[in-house]
Structure 1
Amino acid sequence: MNILYLNTTFQCGGAEKVTSQIFHGMRARGHEVYQIVSYDTRHSRLPEGVHVLYDSFFMRMFNRLISGNRSNTSLHISYSRQYILHFLKKHKIDLIHLHNPHDSFLGIEDIADLSRVCPVIWTLHDFWAMTGHCTYPHGCDDRWKIGCNTCEHLENYPAIRKDVAHTLWEAKRKAFTDANITFTVPSDWMLTQFNNSYLAGKPCERIYNSLDTTLWKPLDKATLRARHKIDPQTKILAFIAADPGKELKGMDYLLKALSMLPDPESYLLLIAGKDHPGLHALNTKFQIHHWGYLNSQERLNEFYSLADLLVNPSVYETFGLTNVEAMACGTPVAAFPVCTMPELITKASGWLASDVSAESLADVIQLAFSSPQELRDRGISSRHLVATTFDESNMLDQFEDLYERVLL
Structure 2
Amino acid sequence: MHSKDTREVDPSMRIAHINVTANLSTGRIAAGLCRYAQNAGHKVLLCYGRGPAPTGIPSLRIGDTLRGPMDLAAQPLKKLLSSTTAAVMGTASKLGVYLHGGLSRLTDRSGFYSSQTTRYFLTQLDKFQPELVHLHNLHGYYLNVPMVIDYLRERDIPVVWTLHDSWPYTGHCAYYHFPIPPCLSAADRPDASVPTACLRWQKGCSSCPLKKTYPTSWLLDQSSRNYMDKWTLFTSLRRLALATPSRWLAGEVKRSFFSQYPVHHLPNGLDLSQFRPCGDERLMQRTAIRYGLDQLGDRRLVLSVAAVWDERKGLSHLTALSQQLGSGYCVAVVGLTEKQQKALPAGMLAIPHTATVEELCALYTIADLYISLSQGETMGMTLLESMACGTQVLCYHTTAMPELVTPECGESVPVGDIAAAADAVRRLCDEPKDPFACMEQAARYSPENCYRGYLELYEQL
Normalised by the shorter chain, which TM-score bucket? 0.7 to 0.9
Give the Å deviation of 1:115: 2.6
- Identify the residue that residue 311 of structure 1 maps to in structure 2: 371
Letter in 2 for 1:91: F
- Identify the residue that residue 124 of structure 1 maps to in structure 2: 163
- Identify the residue that residue 146 of structure 2 maps to in structure 1: 109
Letter in 1 for 2:392: P
Higher-Rg member (1/2) = 2
Task: Please give the alpha-carbon distance, in whole angstroms, between the structure 1 residues aligned to 2:199 and 2:162.
Answer: 22
- Identify the residue that residue 445 of structure 2 maps to in structure 1: 390
- Which residues of 2 match residues 2-401 of structure 1 at below 5 A? 2-12=14-24, 14-40=25-51, 48-55=57-64, 57-62=91-96, 69-70=103-104, 71=107, 72-75=109-112, 77-116=114-153, 117=155, 118-139=157-178, 140-160=197-217, 161-179=219-237, 180-219=239-278, 228=288, 229=294, 233-244=298-309, 246-262=310-326, 264=327, 266-275=328-337, 276=340, 280-282=344-346, 286=347, 288-371=348-431, 375-377=432-434, 379-387=435-443, 389-401=444-456
Give the Å deviation of 1:186: 0.5
State the SS of the aligned residue for 1:69. Answer: helix
Alignment check: 8 A CA contact 1:225 1:232 kept: no
Measured at CA, do residues 185 and 45 of structure 1 come closer, stay the same or move farther in structure 2, by a change above 3 Å? Answer: closer
State the SS of the aligned residue for 1:213. Answer: coil
- Identify the residue that residue 187 of structure 2 maps to in structure 1: none
Measured at CA, do residues 361 and 3 of structure 1 come closer, stay the same or move farther in structure 2, by a change above 3 Å? Answer: same
Task: Please give the alpha-carbon distance, in whole angstroms, between the structure 2 residues aligned to 1:143 and 1:257.
Answer: 32
Alignment check: 8 A CA contact 1:77 1:110 kept: no
Alignment check: 8 A CA contact 1:353 1:360 kept: yes
Task: Please give the alpha-carbon distance, in whole angstroms, between the structure 1 residues aligned to 2:42 and 2:226.
Answer: 36
Give the Å deviation of 1:295: 4.5
Task: Please give the alpha-carbon distance, in whole angstroms, between the structure 2 residues aligned to 1:65 and 1:370.
Answer: 52
Give TM-score scaled by structure 2 length.
0.78
State the SS of the aligned residue for 2:103. Answer: coil
Task: Please give the alpha-carbon distance, in whole angstroms, between the structure 1 residues aligned to 2:42 and 2:363.
Answer: 34
Give the Å deviation of 1:233: 4.7
How many matched pairs?
391
Alignment check: 8 A CA contact 2:110 2:215 kept: no
Task: Please give the alpha-carbon distance, in whole angstroms, between the structure 2 residues aligned to 1:28 and 1:296.
Answer: 25
Measured at CA, do residues 175 and 296 of structure 1 come closer, stay the same or move farther in structure 2, by a change above 3 Å? Answer: same
Task: Please give the alpha-carbon distance, in whole angstroms, between the structure 1 residues aligned to 2:135 and 2:407.
Answer: 35
Task: Please give the alpha-carbon distance, in whole angstroms, between the structure 1 residues aligned to 2:335 and 2:46.
Answer: 26
Alignment check: 8 A CA contact 1:315 1:338 kept: yes
Task: Please give the alpha-carbon distance, in whole angstroms, between the structure 2 residues aligned to 1:143 and 1:9.
Answer: 29
- Identify the residue that residue 6 of structure 2 maps to in structure 1: none
State the SS of the aligned residue for 1:361. Answer: helix
Give the Å deviation of 1:306: 0.9
Task: Please give the alpha-carbon distance, in whole angstroms, between the structure 2 residues aligned to 1:306 and 1:175.
Answer: 48
**1:346-379: CA deviations, max 9, x gaps?**
11110111442222211111121232xxx142x3
The sequence identity of aligned pairs, in percent, is 26
Measured at CA, do residues 58 and 386 of structure 1 come closer, stay the same or move farther in structure 2, by a change above 3 Å? Answer: closer
Task: Please give the alpha-carbon distance, in whole angstroms, between the structure 1 residues aligned to 2:247 and 2:28.
Answer: 20
Alignment check: 8 A CA contact 2:370 2:383 kept: yes
Task: Please give the alpha-carbon distance, in whole angstroms, between the structure 2 residues aligned to 1:68 and 1:222.
Answer: 47
Task: Please give the alpha-carbon distance, in whole angstroms, between the structure 2 residues aligned to 1:152 and 1:241.
Answer: 25
Q: Which moved more, 1:126-135 or 1:273-282?
A: 273-282
Alignment check: 8 A CA contact 1:239 1:312 kept: yes
Measured at CA, do residues 366 and 63 of structure 1 come closer, stay the same or move farther in structure 2, by a change above 3 Å? Answer: closer
Task: Please give the alpha-carbon distance, in whole angstroms, between the structure 1 residues aligned to 2:453 and 2:404.
Answer: 19
Alignment check: 8 A CA contact 1:187 1:208 kept: yes
Measured at CA, do residues 230 and 220 of structure 1 come closer, stay the same or move farther in structure 2, by a change above 3 Å? Answer: farther
What root-mean-square deviation, in Å, do the aligned CA atoms of Structure 1 and Structure 2 show? 2.7
* Unmatched tracts of structure 2, length 5 or more: 1-12, 65-89, 179-196, 289-293
Task: Please give the alpha-carbon distance, in whole angstroms, between the structure 2 residues aligned to 1:270 and 1:68.
Answer: 33
Letter in 1 for 2:263: C
State the SS of the aligned residue for 2:92. Answer: helix
Give the Å deviation of 1:155: 2.1
**1:299-334: CA deviations, max 9, x gaps?**
111111111100111111111110000011111111
- Identify the residue that residue 404 of structure 1 maps to in structure 2: 459
Give the Å deviation of 1:73: 4.2
